[in-house]
Structure 1
Amino acid sequence: MPPVFHMIPGAPDPVAPFSHAVETDGWVFLTGQMPFSGTTLDSAYPEGIEAQTHQVMKNLATVLEGCGLTLAHVVSVRVFLLYFDADYDAMNRVYASYFPAGRRPARTCVGVSGLAKGARIEIDMVARRD
């Protein structure tokens, strides 16, 4: 079966040429989301890492829902932080609230030198359809 390229209504517009998600053989790869508070690229980011983390998770949940999935289907996550040392602990407190203990995806978190449109955080995910 060929890959399915998903563009999800209600998810933020792409900042570059990509699909919101690509699905193949039950695996769904979600492109990293930025903390846009709306669907357009000129939507404001919320202030602070906590609010930006919540917004990124909301945007990812929108993409998952558009694919007929939820956060319970997520098996792997990558987190990219612009201000790693300053934001790591606060981001983790917010992030942990989205996954129950004992059912948290595998995860990598790295500090980066820059993110699109001046964001403090970007998160991508891999989900598996039941």
Structure 2
Amino acid sequence: MLEIARFLLPDAPERVAPFSHAVRAGDFLFVTGQMPTLPGGGHRMVEGGIEAQTRQVIGNLRTVLAGCGAAWERTVFARVYLTEFARDYAAMNAIWEASFPPGGLPGRTCVGVTGLAVGALVEIDLVVAM
């Protein structure tokens, strides 16, 4: 039977809904979409536009991965959600690409949405190989 482990991490960003920060199923870790919220700040978001929010989301994802014993570079797939797709797509992409080593980009889907929790501009979830 496939072993499943659920992670609720005390050092990870405060959850904005009832979910696990991540769930490990076999050799894969499924990381819940992270928001651009500040550590220890409840649901308070980082100030600034898409660049600052994308950096914060990536930082929050890295925090969750570290708490699960996983590495950012082992990301195999991501989903990115943007509330202002046409305006923010290029800027988000530049930060996203720079966060991985050359040739190390995961598969990805990016979609425009009408809204995200806490009024965020961006949310990203991951699938990571353990």
User: How high is the TM-score relative to the length of structure 2?
Assistant: 0.94
Partner of 1:22: 23
Sequence identity percentage? 48
**Offset at residue 43 of structure 1 (A):** 2.1
Listed as ranges, the gaps of 5+ residues in structure 1 are none
> What is the SS of the residue equivalent to 1:15?
coil
**Offset at residue 42 of structure 1 (A):** 3.3
Partner of 2:123: 122
Question: For residues 64-122 of structure 1, what are the alpha-carbon distances to aligned partners after superposition, in whole Å with 9 as ceiling and x for unaligned?
Answer: 00111111111000000000000000000111111122111000000000000100000
> Equivalent residues in 2 for 1:26-105 (5 A)?
26-105=27-106
In structure 2, how many angstroms separate the alpha carbons of the residues matched to 1:44 and 1:103? 29
User: How high is the TM-score relative to the length of structure 1?
Assistant: 0.94
1:117–1:53 CA distance, 2 compared to 1 (3 A): same
In structure 2, how many angstroms separate the alpha carbons of the residues matched to 1:39 and 1:26? 30
2:64 maps to amino acid: V
In structure 2, how many angstroms separate the alpha carbons of the residues matched to 1:46 and 1:121? 13
Comparing 92-101 and 51-60, the one that deviates more: 92-101
How many residues are paired up?
A: 129
Listed as ranges, the gaps of 5+ residues in structure 2 are none
1:93 maps to amino acid: A
> What is the SS of the residue equivalent to 1:123?
strand
In structure 2, how many angstroms separate the alpha carbons of the residues matched to 1:57 and 1:101? 17
* Contact residue 28 and residue 127 of structure 2 kept, 8 A: yes
In structure 1, how many angstroms separate the alpha carbons of the residues matched to 2:12 and 2:112? 25
1:6 maps to amino acid: F
> What is the SS of the residue equivalent to 1:64?
helix
* Contact residue 30 and residue 125 of structure 1 kept, 8 A: yes
In structure 2, how many angstroms separate the alpha carbons of the residues matched to 1:18 and 1:42? 15
